[in-house]
Amino acid sequence: MRIGAHISSAGGHHLVFERAREIGAEAVQLFISAPQQWKLPACTDEQIEHFRAAQTASGMPAFFHGVYLMNFGSTDNALLEKAVASLTAYRHFAGRMGVTGTIFHVGSHLGAGFTSELVARIGRMLRQVLDAEPDNPSLVILENNAGQGNCIGGTFAELGALIAALDSDPRVAVCVDTCHAYAMGYDLATPAGCESAMAEFDREIGFERLVAVHANDTKQPIGTFRDRHENIGDGHIGYDGFRTLMGHRAVSEVPFLLEVPGLDGKGPDAKNISRLKKLRKELGIPAPKMPRVPRVKSSG
Ligand SMILES: [Zn+2]
Ligand SMILES: [Zn+2]
């Protein structure tokens, strides 16, 4: 099991690996375009080479996070086209850059409800994304949300229905965000709650599709549908909750990626990484072998 984090790619995507190493991360998540903008990512051949070289040297798996504007639940064709174009572009670069896949939020049905029509439409949109590059092995990774507003995919059953609409395509996977799951009412803070949440995941989706965990504690009590990330151990899930989850057989090979505020408010940091590593050690879960990489000046 790897402990990783969302890392800033400011100044060059390849810099995430050095930044990850500095805080002790063993896997990375990054954006390759501004997440609040529609501007499509554009990486030159040289940047792609640079990224691949840095990733190979780091020995770390990488994930993209898609832009926040995408809403596959919209009925506005122009917006749907933009969402398809954005995710298709991310997937294109994921394939070329050796990135496992793109984690994204499906969106909101805007009050129309989680209907079979909605599920079919989302299936068609995501099918377009996959069909744009049939031979690209990189995954589209649906993330559960906190169930706020009219968000789609708060429950594992909803995510499972979307995967079924894609004929269970093997390139569709799931990332579980612990903060979001807890907000939705999955009681990850207790052994019984964690076991029943994971059993539901396996029934509705299947453990083989679980490829990442967004490891975030939460500032909000259970079932409040509010998405407020907290540092590991300082929130309602707590150390006991994370210890229980990390000990579950479904996640033994799944990277945990932090999206926490950080102890000094600057995002995922060495302290949060070491909190999860400590739990991993207590549980006797093996740490990955990380290559020794000579420090390179990050001026390119
Ligand atoms: Zn997340
Ligand atoms: Zn969140």
CATH label of the domain that carries residue 104:
3.20.20.150
In a domain, 287, yes or no: no
52-72 pLDDT tens trace: 999 999 999 999 999 999 999
- Of the candidates 186, 197, 229, which has an alpha carbon nearest to the alpha carbon of residue 5? 229
What distance in angstroms lies between residue 134's CA and the mean position of ligand 1's atoms?
A: 27
| Residues paired with 175 in a beta bridge | 143, 212
Which-ligand-closest: CA of 6? 1
What would the two tokens of residue 221 be? 């009590």
CB 118 within 8 Å of CB 157: no
Low-confidence ranges of the chain (pLDDT < 70): 293-300
What distance in angstroms lies between residue 294's CA and the mean position of ligand 1's atoms?
A: 31
Q: In this predicted structure, what is the pLDDT of residue 60?
A: 97
DSSP designation for 114: S
What distance in angstroms lies between residue 292's CA and the mean position of ligand 2's atoms?
A: 33
Name the domain count of the chain.
1
Q: Amino acid identity of 186?
A: Y
Q: In this predicted structure, what is the pLDDT of residue 297?
A: 61
In a domain, 297, yes or no: no
What would the two tokens of residue 78 be? 């122009």
In a domain, 246, yes or no: yes
103-154 pLDDT tens trace: 999 999 999 999 999 999 999 999 999 999 999 999 999 999 999 989 999 9
What distance in angstroms lies between residue 180's CA and the mean position of ligand 2's atoms?
A: 6
Q: In this predicted structure, what is the pLDDT of residue 36?
A: 93
What distance in angstroms lies between residue 297's CA and the mean position of ligand 1's atoms?
A: 31
Quote the domain boundaries for residue 192: 3-282
pTM of the model: 0.95
Around ion ligand 1, residues with a beta carbon closer than 5 Å are 177, 214
What distance in angstroms lies between residue 244's CA and the mean position of ligand 1's atoms?
A: 19
What distance in angstroms lies between residue 256's CA and the mean position of ligand 2's atoms?
A: 14
Q: CA 218, 65, 262: angle at the middle one, nearest 5?
A: 35
Residue 84 to residues 78, 114, 196: CA-CA distances in angstroms?
Answer: 10, 20, 34
In a domain, 68, yes or no: yes
Residue 46 exposed, middle or buried by CB count within 10 Å (0-12, 13-18, 19+): exposed
